[in-house]
Amino acid sequence: MNAANWWQDDCRAADQQVRAAALARQAQLTKPAGALGLLEQVAVQLAALQGTPRPQLELPWIAVFAGDHGVVEEGVSAYPQAVTVQMLRNFVGGGAAISVLARQLGATLEVIDLGCALPLEPLPGVRHLQLGAGTANFARMPALRDEQLHAALAAGRDSVGRAYAAGAELFIGGEMGIGNTSAASAVACALLSCPAHELVGPGTGLDPQGVQHKAAVIERALLLHAEHFDDPWQVLRCLGGFELAALAGAYVACAQQGVPALVDGFICTVAALCAVRLNPACREWLLFAHRGAEPGHRRLLAALGGEPLLELGLRLGEGSGAALAVPLLRLACQLHNDMATFAEAAVAGRSA
């Protein structure tokens, strides 16, 4: 193994003894067996991942990765590229959806600028890594250079390192980058061997004609880069983005460092698919927050065997859907930890 390819290093294993204890506890709680559905499963999974029979979710860590996309010159987004840097200011100004959600949750919000196309002044509270002035247009050439992909993957890993050091019990990745539903769709088509029209959707709000044009641009790019599609690293290099790669690196690092990750929307789920292709053992550390409105999200979740907690018609990104699922996960933990057992409450168990 190439030592530089840190993403191939071993992942931590969930604690199977704790899982068995957590499952046994669920069976003793005063409710019909299985009656809390997916909430039981996520509490047990969090217990096994956190290595404790009493899972906790006091400090979620939210990292929003931002980067621009050269493919926007093909006219694939309903919004102008300037929105990426403008939203970076909004994240730290406190007015973005994820800023509001992070405040309400008492979560740490870290904002990482990986490389925007438009000029951006240094912003207090933003980590500026400047991997380039956005990616290249993947409809014409590879989106990233090798060193940019290495740096983006490492940026995700390093954010997880800070989350771990801060004692965060959950990692949420978010993204910002006009055009990134195109990059995400292209990556997903390459990894799933799927034609563009089956995965591409409106993103920020293209009309049906716009979606058709976006699919045609992606189809052209798929033909251009097809020789690389058996290697997830090459797929990210040819079709990905700085923030997609950082998210993929973060998800692998979560599994290596032992921090459960809660995956957000369509874009994050594509990054999760990349992570699982780069290092299949990381799958166990991924929880899925929601199924969003972008039509390809359903297929992505199915490919990953991910069972989302929420379905709210979200199509925002930024990590917002994952943040919205945190109260539910917290309640799942509290139910698991604080409900009485049949014996404690003197309630009769199942008769047959």
Ligand X SMILES: O=C(O)c1cccnc1
168 binds ligand RBZ (CB under 6 A): no
Q: Which is nearer to ligand RBZ, 85 or 333 (CB)?
A: 85
User: Is 318 noted as a catalytic residue in this protein?
Assistant: yes
The DSSP letter of residue 80 is: -
Q: Which of 265, 296, 306, 308 binds ligand X (CB under 6 A)?
A: 265
Q: Which is nearer to ligand RBZ, 113 or 175 (CB)?
A: 175
Q: Are 12 and 257 in contact (CB under 8 A)?
A: yes
Q: What is the dihedral of CA 89, 94, 97, 102, to 10 degrees?
A: 120
CA distances from 47 to 17, 26, 215 (A): 10, 12, 42
Q: Look at residue 294 and give the partner it binds from ligand RBZ, ligand X, none, a contact being a CB closer than 5 to 8 Å depending on partner kind.
A: ligand X
* Residues between 186 and 205 that touch ligand RBZ (CB under 6 A): 203-204
Which residues lie across from 111 on neighbouring strands?
A: 64, 126
Helix (H, G, I), strand (E, B) or coil at 288: strand
Of 22-30, 218-226, 271-279, 314-322, the segment contacting ligand X by CB under 6 A is 314-322
294 binds ligand X (CB under 6 A): yes
CB of 203 to ligand RBZ, least distance (A): 2
92 binds ligand RBZ (CB under 6 A): no
267 binds ligand X (CB under 6 A): yes
Q: Write the burial class of residue 344 (CB in 10 Å: 0-12 exposed, 13-18 middle, 19+ buried).
A: exposed
Q: Are 263 and 286 in contact (CB under 8 A)?
A: yes
Give the Cα separation of 224 and 238 in Å (integer): 9
CA distances from 246 to 42, 151, 195 (A): 25, 8, 25
Q: Look at residue 179 and give the partner it binds from ligand RBZ, ligand X, none, a contact being a CB closer than 5 to 8 Å depending on partner kind.
A: ligand RBZ
* Residues between 166 and 205 that touch ligand X (CB under 6 A): 181, 203-204
Q: Look at residue 176 and give the partner it binds from ligand RBZ, ligand X, none, a contact being a CB closer than 5 to 8 Å depending on partner kind.
A: ligand RBZ
118 binds ligand RBZ (CB under 6 A): no
* Residues between 50 and 89 that touch ligand RBZ (CB under 6 A): 77-79, 83, 87
Burial 66-94 (b: 16+ CB within 10 A, else e): bbbbbbbebebbebebebbbbbbebbeee
Q: Look at residue 265 and give the partner it binds from ligand RBZ, ligand X, none, a contact being a CB closer than 5 to 8 Å depending on partner kind.
A: ligand X
Helix (H, G, I), strand (E, B) or coil at 45: helix
90 binds ligand X (CB under 6 A): no
316 binds ligand RBZ (CB under 6 A): yes
* Residues between 243 and 302 that touch ligand RBZ (CB under 6 A): none
For residues 202 to 241, the per-residue mask of contacts with ligand RBZ, x marking binding by CB under 6 A and - elsewhere, is: -xx-------------------------------------
* Residue count, binding to ligand X (CB under 6 A): 12
Give the Cα separation of 178 and 199 in Å (integer): 18
Q: What single string gives the DSSP state of each residue in 198-212? A: HH---TTT--HHHHH
Q: Which amino acid is present at 160?
A: V
CB of 346 to ligand X, least distance (A): 47
Strands (E), 120-276: 126-128, 170-176, 261-263
Of 133-141, 274-282, 312-320, 328-336, the segment contacting ligand RBZ by CB under 6 A is 312-320
Of 21-29, 121-129, 312-320, 342-350, the segment contacting ligand X by CB under 6 A is 312-320
Give the Cα separation of 236 and 229 in Å (integer): 10
Q: What single string gives the DSSP state of each residue in 92-150? A: HHT-SHHHHHHHHHT-EEEEEEEE-SS-----TTEEE---SSS---TTTS-SS-HHHHH
Of 48-56, 70-78, 111-119, 263-271, the segment contacting ligand X by CB under 6 A is 263-271
Site residues (vs ligand X, CB under 6 A): 181, 203-204, 264-267, 292, 294, 315-317
Site residues (vs ligand RBZ, CB under 6 A): 77-79, 83, 87, 175-182, 203-204, 316-318
Active site residues: 318
